[in-house]
Amino acid sequence: MTTQRGAINPLALTMGEPGGVGAEITVSAWHKLRGSGLCFFVLSSVDLFETAGVPIREINAPSETAKVFDDALPVLPLGQSVSMTLGEASPGNASAVIASIDKAVGYALSGEASAVVTNPIQKSSLIASGFKFPGHTEFLADLTNNTPMPNGRTRGPVMMLAGPALKTVPVTIHQSVASAAADLSAAMVEKVAKVTAEALQFDFGVANPRLAISGLNPHAGEDGALGKEDLAEIAPAVASLKKRGVDARGPLPADTMFHEEARATYDAALCMLHDQALIPAKTLAFHDAVNVTLGLPIIRTSPDHGTALDIAGKGLARADSLLAAIRLAATMAESRASAQ
Ligand SMILES: NC(=O)c1ccc[n+]([C@@H]2O[C@H](COP(=O)([O-])OP(=O)(O)OC[C@H]3O[C@@H](n4cnc5c(N)ncnc54)[C@H](O)[C@@H]3O)[C@@H](O)[C@H]2O)c1
Ligand SMILES: N[C@H](C(=O)O)[C@H](O)COP(=O)(O)O
C-alpha cells in the first residue's frame, strides 16, 4: 500500500480542459508514480477517465487517496458531467473546469491536500463562457485573497517558470505588451522581486538569492534613447532593492541574460514581459520546466505547457512537465511541513 510521502497529504490535481491532453498526462503520471510513495487525486468529472484504460476509483475525501493509489487512479468526482471531444475546447464545460480548480484550492486551504497541481486550461474557451480571469495565476490569487500568508510572507501572485537550468519570473503576466509597458512601475518590480527572493530562500533553499532584473526596451533603453521605462521605473526599483539588502542587478539587456555564462550569475531572472521570461524558459526546458505561482498562501504548480489540442488523444503527449510539477509541489510541501 502506498504511504503518503514524508509527512504530507496527497496532492490535488485539477481536471483542466477536457478536450486537451490533461487526462492522458494524468494517467501517465499515475502509472509512473504508483508505488513511489507520492500520491495524488484528481478532481474531475468521472466521465473523463472512464475510457482512459486504467482502473479508476471514486473517492469521497482526499484522505482516501493513499490507500487507493497503488491500485487505481483516485478520482474525487465533481458531480458535474462534461461532454468531451478530444482536440476541441468547449465553453460548455467551463463550469466543471472552474469548479475543479475552486475545489482543489479549498482542499489546499483546509490542509487536506498539500498542494494544487493544475492541468492546462483553454483560456479562450473559459473567457468565452464569462470567466473573468486571464489565467490560473490571477484566479488563484482571487480565491485565496482572504487567507493570511504563512509566516508573514509577501503576497503575490507571481508567476515563476522553474527549469533545471533557469528560473524566470515575468513582472507583468497576462496582458498586452502595450498595457504592460504602460502599467510597469518601480513598485511592481520591487514587490515581484521581494516575493521571488522569499520563495528562492524558503521554497528552493537558496540562502542568498541573486536576482538579475531585465530592462523593458532593447538594450535596457540605451540610456533613455530607446525608451524611458528602464531609467524611470526599473533602475530605481533595483536601487531600492539593493538598499534593502536584496542582491539585485539591472536593468540588464534582456537579449544577453540567458546564455550559459550569464545564467551562472543569478538564481532567478525577473523579466518585464511575459514572453521575455517564458520564451527562454520553454526553449531551454519545455518538457522539464514547471509553472509555480509564488506569493500565495497555498502551493500551486503546473506543467509549463498548454492544452495541446493538436495532439490530444493521439498518444503523443509527454507527461514529463506534469511529473516535474507534481514532484516540485511535493518537495515544496515537505519543506514547509518540516519548517513548522
Ligand atoms: N497552465 C495552463 O493552464 C496553460 C499553460 C500554457 C498555455 N495554456 C493554454 O493552452 C492553450 C494552447 O496554448 P498553446 O498552443 O500556446 O501551447 P501548448 O503548450 O498547448 O502547445 C504548444 C505546442 O507544444 C506541444 N505540446 C504541448 N504540450 C505537450 C506535451 N505534454 N507533450 C508533447 N507536446 C506538447 C503542442 O502539441 C503544440 O505543438 C491556450 O489556450 C493557452 O492559454 C494553458
Ligand atoms: N502564461 C502561462 C504560459 O504561457 O505558460 C500560462 O498561460 C499559464 O498561466 P496560468 O498558470 O496563470 O494559467
CA of 262 to the centre of ligand 2 (A): 25
Which of helix, strand or coil describes residue 216?
Answer: coil
What percent of the chain clears pLDDT 90, i.e. is strictly above it?
93
C-alpha of residue 172 to centroid of ligand 2, in Å: 12
Task: Please return the burial class of 63, using the count of CB atoms within 10 Å of its CB with bins 0-12, 13-18 and 19+.
Answer: middle
Reported confidence tier of residue 84, pLDDT bands at 50, 70, 90: confident
Strand order, beta sheet including 247-252: 56-58, 73-77, 40-44, 11-14, 115-117, 300-303, 290-294, 158-162, 167-170, 268-271, 210-214, 247-252
At residue 15's C-alpha, the angle toward residues 41 and 23, to 5°, is 90
What is residue 52's predicted lDDT score, i.e. its pLDDT? 84
Does residue 42 contact residue 67 with C-beta atoms inside 8 Å? no
Pairing of strands 40-44, 73-77: parallel
- How many C-beta atoms lie closer than 10 Å to residue 327's C-beta? 19
Tell me the mean pLDDT in the region 110-122: 98
Q: Does domain 1-147+297-340 have CATH number 3.40.50.2300?
A: no
User: Mind listing the pLDDT tens digit for each residue in 183-232?
Assistant: 999 999 999 999 999 999 999 999 999 999 999 999 999 999 999 999 99
Separation CA 99–CA 290 (nearest Å): 23
What would the 3-class secondary structure string for 142-162 be? HHCCCCCCHHHCCCCCEEEEE
CA–CA distance, 113 with 106 (Å, rounded to integer): 9
From atom 5 of ligand 2, which residue's Cα is the shortest distance away? 304
Residue 6 has what pLDDT? 55
Please, which pLDDT band fits residue 249 given cuts at 50, 70 and 90?
Answer: very high
Residue 177 confidence class, pLDDT cut points 50, 70, 90 = very high
Altogether, the residues listed in the chain come to a count of 340
Whether the per-residue pLDDT at 56 is higher than 90: the answer is: yes
Cα-to-centroid distance, 312 and ligand 1 (Å)? 10
Decide if pLDDT at 2 tops 70.
no
Residue to mutate, 97, 98, 307, ligand 1, most ligand atoms under 8 Å from C-beta: 307
Whether the per-residue pLDDT at 50 is higher than 50: the answer is: yes
Q: Write out pLDDT tens, residues 313-323.
A: 999 999 999 99
CA of residue 105 to ligand 2 center, whole Å: 17
Which residues, 6 or more positions from 228, have their beta carbon under 8 angstroms from its beta carbon? 221
pLDDT at 248 exceeding the cut of 70: yes
Q: Which residues line ligand 1 (CB under 6 A)?
A: 21, 25, 118, 120-124, 136, 291, 302, 305-308, 310-311, 316-318
Average pLDDT over residues 153-172: 98
Average pLDDT, stretch 82-91? Answer: 91
pLDDT over 50 (residue 3): no
Residue 235's alpha-carbon distances to 87, 251, 252, in angstroms, are 45, 6, 10
- Going by CA atoms, what residue is nearest to atom 36 of ligand 1? 308
For the CA of 173, the nearest atom of ligand 2:
1
The two counts, helices (H) then strands (E), for the chain are 13, 12
Calculate mean pLDDT across residues 274-280: 98
Domain with CATH 3.40.718.10 in the chain: 1-147+297-340, 151-296
> Grid coordinates in use for 4?
503518503
Tell me which of 14, 127, 137 to substitute to probe ligand 2's pocket, judged by most ligand atoms within 8 Å of the beta carbon. Answer: 137
Q: What is the pLDDT of residue 5?
A: 52
pLDDT at 339: 80
Q: How far is the CA of 120 from the centre of ligand 1 (A)?
A: 8
Ligand 1 atom nearest to CA at 322? 31
**Which residue's CA lies nearest to atom 3 of ligand 1?**
120
Report the pLDDT averaged over residues 103-120: 98
* Residue 61 scores a pLDDT above 80: yes
The residue whose CA is least distant from atom 41 of ligand 1 is 122
Q: Which residue carries 511575459 as its cell?
A: 274
**pLDDT tens digits, 251-266:** 999 999 999 999 999 9
Binned at pLDDT 50, 70 and 90, residue 110 comes out as very high
Distance 311 CA to ligand 2 centre (A): 19
Percent of the chain with pLDDT over 70: 98
151-296: what fold? Answer: Isopropylmalate Dehydrogenase (3.40.718)
Whether residue 61 contacts residue 27, with contact meaning beta carbons closer than 8 Å, is answered with no
- Show the DSSP H helices in the chain as ranges: 22-33, 47-50, 65-68, 94-110, 123-128, 136-143, 177-183, 186-202, 229, 235-243, 260-263, 274-285, 320-339
CA of 235 to the centre of ligand 1 (A): 34
pLDDT at position 182 over 50: yes
Question: What b/e string do you get for 70-81 counting C-beta neighbours within 10 Å, with b at 16 or more?
Answer: eebbbbbebeee
**Mean pLDDT of the 156-168 span:** 98
What average pLDDT is seen over the chain? 96
